[in-house]
Structure 1
């Protein structure tokens, strides 16, 4: 009998001998999550009540419906002790994201924004997956409740992504995540011994980072409502803003540097923060992916700043600020914008297109391929080169002073292959739906990598996804979920053998 995750325990037995899917535990947990989101809807409802906006009715109706569905599932499927099989864990991971996105779309659909079903679901999925692409035009005059709900979805989705990346995906051995499990959950790392304790510590830390970001944004002069929204969407590396011009609405350098700092903070593995807070002060820098990620970011900052200054775009210090903000927003898959980088020249355009795929560290709120996988692929490349000139040499593959098995390398290479494959497939599908070449290839990239910011006249820094056909919005929403769940979680459900003995 192998081990696997559960809620509230360090591990949950995976019953490999069970061939029939018992949906009870899955539906109970989904129902419990729906109840939590019904309660969360009361926050934007209160904001609309305070500001005198009639959209509070939309949130009230959505909350009641969600509470009814969630309560019915939780009551009828209640079990005193939840034991998840491997099969149930895969189903739960996908079903919960689909279900939560569906009920989260209700306030958008019932609001006065006049969004249709496709636009509402796109907006909800973009929020929960921390993608950041939007179909709403006129954010500056949008109701306070809707703006707060968008930010809250991204904030809740961000912490959910961290917990999923630490507590579930490593056990499912998806894309090399099992290596992250051995790093983050080993008792020798002096992290808390149980997953429930780790999740609690991460939640507290996540809240503290959000509060710190809010305080600094207020210090630099941002209004309280805008500050709380951007604090939530910066730490979650999500990218929803309260303004059509995004962060470009505020010209204060302090605001832009603050958001840059917290985008970087959200891109680092949260389990390392926990180790740091518990006295292991070298935990962050000792992690190879953190070192390589930060070095890469600094090199990109410097290179882009020197290029902008040499091209006469800005003075050096201003060029560094714009380069740091824009490249960090793209690398961390946040999607904030201060400037239209399309105006910086074709070279910068290609750099930003490349950065869309990078992502932050494993165990963070970011999307993309992530640095852990790049490190493993680089390690595989080095070892393959050694084998060419020294075929009889026996080498032990190590990462962070731990052995790397062939299973991990195969998992990473397979993930990369699947990522590229789905990128090509979604690009072709979007092109068939009538999107131009630039919009199709960057739209697929921004959805799969959960960036939220594409290129071109429609979905670039100066546009949004509102003008795209509804069919494209449905495709992009599904692509966001595929990218966020690391592909295999969804793909395995489409495999006939998964449902057979």
Structure 2
């Protein structure tokens, strides 16, 4: 059985940190002389008390984290932290239930971007800032998890990203603290650059800061109900650039800045850009057929495809109005994803490359049964355990999406809404299809049961499925 003491201790510390960050929107409310600053006092006090209690209750014993503890801690944090993060939503937004508040918090921390809140244009500034901060914190947490945790847990082929190789040339940074410092510095720099670019594109300071946090984290919460459709064409092009910047492996940024080189799957970037260009032009063609000006159609097409494959979830236009081809393309692209080691969700380009190469090798071996073809990636041999991990994860994505669709349909949702909502939450894209949860709607009208199902689907998708599902095995809890 996993040792609970270190899990509870570290969890208590992180709950305290999250509680401290709630003081930031309260200070913004005070600064802007808004009316909701006092409501943040219990939002800070309650999790602070619980975090201190967890730390005091678990101190004094061994704090060694093994493999099972790593699984339990990773999953437990992403389940418990949204409960803390939901408090400002529940206590400052009128008529928001616990279900809706938890859904919004999960969507924020998993950088999904699905929302149940309407009237964003008139919400208090503290709430808008808290939504953006959750996604920004979730984005850097996802990067750290992808680079430092998932490779060690051997989830879905992430072993290739492990820094624990016997080849020391792969160790870009030897110390975890140094790696965390560089990651945070790169993340902050991209966010600052994005905010400045948004400001130059005509956004106000508050909108620019909020959208910078949710763009670089490829998360998608906006300060407006119409999302990026409320802003200029220049702002939408800025968004495209920085959504793609957030979809690039963050280790590559560190290597470029430091001038050192190790293994990073950079060869994902050209296919990702190719999908953006080809998919964007196909969507633009649909928009032109629907009556759009060519230049506007190209902008909306490129923007929409970038938003979908980077799993950001912004909308500049309701692409469903361009016809069934556009909607079908958007649904397929939800399963694409960005690069490994980035803030994006989805299956990821890297895994599709591994699967396509495996398919080609299998067909070659069928044609010439005695031929042995080695599978490589960027000149590095790919072991069978990596291919197996990728296949299992992709199979699980399909299976969990199908199961989630059935469960949602059982709550009374129509098939289009059920399947697209399942796909968009498992892949952490955000908007789905249909009149309810499409790019021009939100998830608010869904039944509470459906929202809890989708909250769990978002957590499963963000944690790469196996990280959570491994704990369903009885052997996990045995010594």
Once the 2 structures are TM-superposed, how far is the Cα of residue 317 of structure 1 from its aligned partner?
2.4
Structure 2 residue aligned with 1:497: 475
Once the 2 structures are TM-superposed, how far is the Cα of residue 307 of structure 1 from its aligned partner?
4.4
Mapping 1:160-175, distance limit 5 Å: 160-175=141-156
1:225 is the counterpart of 2:206: yes
Q: Is the Cα contact below 8 Å between 1:185 and 1:193 reproduced in 2?
A: no
1:94 to 59, 75, 92: 75
Instruction: Give the alignment's Cα RMSD to 1 decimal.
Output: 1.9
Mapping 1:136-151, distance limit 5 Å: 136-151=117-132
Higher alpha-carbon deviation: 199-208 or 390-399: 390-399
Take 1:243 and 1:79, find their aligned partners in 2: how far apart are those partners? 48
**CA deviation map 1:221-257 (0-9, x unaligned):** 101111100000000000100001111111x221000
Take 2:223 and 2:285, find their aligned partners in 1: how far apart are those partners? 31
**CA deviation map 1:362-382 (0-9, x unaligned):** 111111111111011011101
Structure 2 residue aligned with 1:327: 305
Structure 1 residue aligned with 2:278: 299
Take 1:81 and 1:292, find their aligned partners in 2: how far apart are those partners? 47
Take 2:35 and 2:469, find their aligned partners in 1: how far apart are those partners? 42
Take 2:151 and 2:68, find their aligned partners in 1: how far apart are those partners? 15
Once the 2 structures are TM-superposed, how far is the Cα of residue 276 of structure 1 from its aligned partner?
1.0
Q: Is the Cα contact below 8 Å between 1:313 and 1:319 reproduced in 2?
A: no
Once the 2 structures are TM-superposed, how far is the Cα of residue 497 of structure 1 from its aligned partner?
1.1
Higher alpha-carbon deviation: 48-57 or 341-350: 48-57
Take 1:138 and 1:115, find their aligned partners in 2: how far apart are those partners? 13
Structure 2 residue aligned with 1:308: 287
Q: Kindly report structure 1 stretches of 4+ aligned residues shifted beyond 4 Å.
A: 182-186, 280-284
Structure 2 residue aligned with 1:417: 395
Structure 2 residue aligned with 1:390: 368
SS across alignment from 2:162: helix
2:248 to 268, 277, 280: 268
Structure 1 residue aligned with 2:443: 465
Q: Is the Cα contact below 8 Å between 1:272 and 1:283 reproduced in 2?
A: no
Q: 1:25 to 1:405 in 2, by over 3 A?
A: same
Q: 1:63 to 1:99 in 2, by over 3 A?
A: same
> What's the TM-score once normalised by structure 2's chain length?
0.96
Take 2:213 and 2:383, find their aligned partners in 1: how far apart are those partners? 38
Q: Is the Cα contact below 8 Å between 1:190 and 1:275 reproduced in 2?
A: no
SS across alignment from 1:132: coil
Mapping 1:336-355, distance limit 5 Å: 336-355=314-333
Once the 2 structures are TM-superposed, how far is the Cα of residue 185 of structure 1 from its aligned partner?
10
Q: 1:152 to 1:79 in 2, by over 3 A?
A: farther
Unpaired runs of 5+ residues, structure 1, are: 1-19
SS across alignment from 1:188: helix
Once the 2 structures are TM-superposed, how far is the Cα of residue 187 of structure 1 from its aligned partner?
3.6
2:18 to 33, 37, 41: 37
Take 2:290 and 2:458, find their aligned partners in 1: how far apart are those partners? 37
Take 2:150 and 2:39, find their aligned partners in 1: how far apart are those partners? 35
Q: Is the Cα contact below 8 Å between 1:276 and 1:283 reproduced in 2?
A: no
Structure 2 residue aligned with 1:6: none
Structure 1 residue aligned with 2:101: 120
Unpaired runs of 5+ residues, structure 2, are: none
> What's the TM-score once normalised by structure 1's chain length?
0.92
Q: Is the Cα contact below 8 Å between 2:172 and 2:262 reproduced in 1?
A: no
**CA deviation map 1:156-177 (0-9, x unaligned):** 0000000001111111111111
Q: Is the Cα contact below 8 Å between 1:170 and 1:179 reproduced in 2?
A: yes
1:259 is the counterpart of 2:261: no
Once the 2 structures are TM-superposed, how far is the Cα of residue 299 of structure 1 from its aligned partner?
2.1
Q: Is the Cα contact below 8 Å between 1:234 and 1:259 reproduced in 2?
A: yes
Higher alpha-carbon deviation: 273-282 or 26-35: 273-282
- Number of residues of Structure 1 aligned to a counterpart in Structure 2: 479
Once the 2 structures are TM-superposed, how far is the Cα of residue 306 of structure 1 from its aligned partner?
4.0
Take 1:174 and 1:99, find their aligned partners in 2: how far apart are those partners? 22
Once the 2 structures are TM-superposed, how far is the Cα of residue 393 of structure 1 from its aligned partner?
1.5
Structure 2 residue aligned with 1:277: 257
Mapping 1:395-406, distance limit 5 Å: 395-406=373-384
Q: Is the Cα contact below 8 Å between 2:173 and 2:179 reproduced in 1?
A: yes
